[in-house]
Amino acid sequence: MLASHAQKYGILIALIVACIFLTFANEYFLTGRNILNVLRQTSINGILAIGMTFVILTRGIDLSVGSIVALAGVVSASLATTSSAAMVAGGPYPVAIAFGAGLAVGMACGAVSGFVVARFNVPAFVATLGMLSAARGLTLIYAGGKPVPNLTDAYRWIGTADLAGIPMPVVAFAVIFLAATWVLTSTRFGRHVYAAGGNPHAAKVSGINVPRIRLLVYVISGGMAGFAGMMLAARTGSALTQAGIAYELDAIAAVVIGGTSLAGGIGRVTGTVIGALLIGVMNNGLDLMGVESYYQQVIKGGLIVAAVMLDQARHKQA
């Protein structure tokens, strides 16, 4: 019971404690602009982590999101660049086409991983490890190893614009968070995701098409990664082939810190978002205080292991 409470509220308490500490430690932490900074810096990892939550809820894992970030980034950017060396013939195309292409690329990568997992029972770790390598290679082939610069203003809007003072990446993060929460808590598909992860056999017996659910969660994760990749390109002004390296680790960390069980079936998007925010707050706070980034990695490592230890304690009780 204690462990369960610690699991449910521990991460939120940790976030609040971190914020209180940083407020006293640095005069600029609790300013409007810095809070927007934290949210903006968290948005890309947050969106990846939300997609990852769907996958982990079904007992899977998606190691390929970082590579999909880069692939979707260069493909969509090549449709929205004004640089003649990097553009697809006839470009720049309207931003809707560029975004559509990036999203489609991400979802297609996810569909391939999902199909391999669902249809051939290849462990998710292996299937997405393959996609991690393949998508990175395709990125380099597609872009010839070079960045895709000079993106149109319309394309950069999603990364740089404000909506009533709130940066677009934060708006997108919030919308995706609300949508994902709704899907998981209030739709039949959401209930099937929990069922397929919690007890696949029982889910199958009760008539749920488990392979279809498993396929779709990778499509969702791939789509989120594609979207995040375009937002990253829009934010930095150029799609880079090295973008997103090791992003999967931070995304998995956010999900795990947020209390979603790697054993499947248990977890909430809210927890994931709090986990992502905790990582973001920590990075930002240590930057403000001038602490070397190497410490950030050590602290993050400790948090991940502590979160899983809590998860294990709960399993013993259940």
Partner 1 sequence: MKTLLKTMVSISALMVAMPAAAQEPLKIGAAVYGLNAEFMQIWAEALENHPAVRDGIVTVTIFDGKYDALVQQEQFETMITQGYDGIIFVPIDIEAGAAAVQAASEAGIPVFGSNTRVNSDLLTAYVGSDDVQSGYMEAKYVLDKIGCTGNVVIIEGPIGQSAQIQRLEGNLKALAECPDVKVIEQRTANWSRAEAQTLMENWLTAHPGEIAGVIGQNDEMALGAIEAIKGAKFEVTDFAIAGIDGITDALLAVKAGDMASILQDGAAQAQGALDLAIAAKMPDYKPMSEIWTHYTDMPWNDGKDKAYNVPWTPVTAENVDALLALRN
171 binds partner 1 (CB under 8 A): no
- Vertex 91, ends 90 and 97: CA angle to 5°? 115
296 binds partner 1 (CB under 8 A): no
37 binds partner 1 (CB under 8 A): yes
Residues near 120 by beta carbon (within 8 Å), at least 6 away in sequence: none
Least separation in angstroms between residue 282's CB and partner 1 is 12
166 binds partner 1 (CB under 8 A): no
3-state SS assignment for residue 151: strand
Q: Using an 8 Å Cβ cutoff, are 51 and 227 in contact?
A: no
Q: Which of 94, 100, 130, 149 binds partner 1 (CB under 8 A)?
A: 149
145 binds partner 1 (CB under 8 A): yes
- Bridge partners (DSSP) listed for residue 151: 81
Q: Which of 7, 41, 76, 221 binds partner 1 (CB under 8 A)?
A: 41
Residues near 318 by beta carbon (within 8 Å), at least 6 away in sequence: none
- Vertex 121, ends 115 and 123: CA angle to 5°? 95
Least separation in angstroms between residue 14's CB and partner 1 is 21
89 binds partner 1 (CB under 8 A): no
Least separation in angstroms between residue 75's CB and partner 1 is 17
137 binds partner 1 (CB under 8 A): no
Q: Which of 7, 26, 58, 78 binds partner 1 (CB under 8 A)?
A: 26
x/- site string to partner 1, residues 249 to 288, per CB under 8 A? Answer: ----------------------------------xx--xx
Q: How many CB atoms lie within 10 A of CB 190?
A: 18
For residue 298, give the amino acid letter: V
Closest CA to 56 of 272, 227, 242: 272
67 binds partner 1 (CB under 8 A): no
237 binds partner 1 (CB under 8 A): yes
Residues near 6 by beta carbon (within 8 Å), at least 6 away in sequence: 310
- Vertex 209, ends 205 and 215: CA angle to 5°? 140
Q: What CA–CA distance (Å, rounded) separates 140 from 148?
A: 11
DSSP character at residue 263? T
Least separation in angstroms between residue 84's CB and partner 1 is 6
290 binds partner 1 (CB under 8 A): yes
Q: What CA–CA distance (Å, rounded) separates 312 from 261?
A: 9
300 binds partner 1 (CB under 8 A): no
Q: Using an 8 Å Cβ cutoff, are 195 and 203 in contact?
A: yes
293 binds partner 1 (CB under 8 A): yes
The nearer residue to partner 1, 253 or 266, going by C-beta atoms, is 253
Q: Which of 80, 232, 276, 303 binds partner 1 (CB under 8 A)?
A: 232
Q: Which residues bind partner 1 (CB under 8 A)?
A: 26, 28, 31, 33-34, 37, 40-41, 83-85, 140, 144-147, 149-150, 160, 167, 232, 235-238, 240-243, 283-284, 287-288, 290, 292-293
